[in-house]
């Protein structure tokens, strides 16, 4: 007769199948514990990050893109308006029929120097000319508005249109005019850049493009 297997001293016998089953259960338990710990850490980290984010910013009002109509009645709106670097254009005084429009007011004497060439921009109504002059001046580009002479308008009446000239660059005539071509082109580009901004922000009547402006000799 074959000999019988002697029982173990502990009296407990674990089969291979049961051993693999216990190992698998232990592995699953470890995965579940890791998943729960990961979820808890993720939630804690999210809460910490949200605590660092400030409250929603207050609403930013869009910039004013056109002149607001005037009203004779007092306004009841006390909310502050957004920052505007451009002052509203002044009213044209009756005595300014032949005066030159500048950012500092109306001047009897033309500030241009005879014999020099100045960049002519465009011709506008008094309101559009004043708005362009103030806008360009606020951006460090001085320009003036010269009243358009109209023989059909009686003396003392306000001129209806002004031709704008830039004082940012005065170019002498003769050989100096050709020698300063680089400066003239750069000045035209600067005017066109501000003109496009004026047209976009203030609905100006022109963008003062380089092809729309010309050098005119003042006499």
pLDDT tens-place string over residues 125-160: 999 999 999 999 999 999 999 999 766 655 456 678
Average pLDDT score over residue span 66-89: 44
Q: Is the pLDDT of residue 56 over 50?
A: no
Query: Is the whole-model pTM more than 0.75?
Result: no
Inter-helix orientation angle 181-202/126-138, to 10°: 110
d(CA 106, CA 110) in angstroms, rounded, equals: 10
State the pLDDT at residue 91.
Answer: 53
Find out whether 213 and 163 touch, Cβ atoms under 8 Å. Answer: no
Confidence class of residue 218 from pLDDT cuts 50, 70 and 90?
A: very high
In this prediction, residue 179 carries a pLDDT of 95
Q: Which two tokens stand for residue 156?
A: 């003392």
| Residues 163-189, mean pLDDT to the nearest whole number | 95
As given in the structure block, the two tokens for residue 83 are 């920052």
Binning the chain into helix, strand and coil, the percentages to the nearest 5 are 35, 15, 50
Q: What is the pLDDT of residue 34?
A: 78
Average pLDDT over residues 177-184: 95
| From 40-44, 57-61, 155-159, the region with the lowest mean pLDDT | 57-61
Q: How do the domains of the chain map onto residue ranges?
A: 17-54, 94-217
């Amino acid at each position: 007769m074959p000999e019988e297997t002697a029982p173990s001293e502990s009296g407990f016998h674990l089969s291979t199948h049961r051993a693999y089953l216990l190992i698998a259960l232990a592995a699953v338990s470890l995965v579940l514990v890791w998943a729960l710990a990961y979820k808890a850490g993720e939630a804690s980290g999210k809460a910490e990050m949200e605590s660092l984010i400030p409250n929603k910013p207050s609403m930013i009002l869009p910039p004013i893109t056109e002149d607001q109509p005037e009203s004779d009645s007092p306004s009841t709106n006390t909310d502050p308006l957004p920052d505007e670097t451009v002052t509203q254009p002044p009213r044209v005084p009756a005595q300014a029929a032949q005066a030159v429009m500048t950012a500092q007011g109306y001047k009897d004497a033309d500030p241009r120097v005879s014999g020099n060439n100045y960049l002519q921009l465009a011709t506008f109504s008094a309101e559009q000319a004043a708005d362009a002059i103030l806008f360009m001046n606020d951006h460090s580009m001085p320009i003036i508005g010269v009243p358009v002479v109209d023989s059909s308008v009686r003396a003392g009446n306000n001129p209806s249109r002004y031709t704008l000239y830039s004082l940012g660059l005065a170019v002498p005539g003769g050989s100096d005019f050709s020698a300063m071509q680089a400066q003239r082109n750069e000045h035209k580009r600067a005017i066109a850049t501000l003109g496009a901004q004026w047209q976009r922000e203030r609905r100006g009547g022109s963008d003062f493009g380089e092809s729309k402006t010309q050098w005119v000799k003042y006499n």
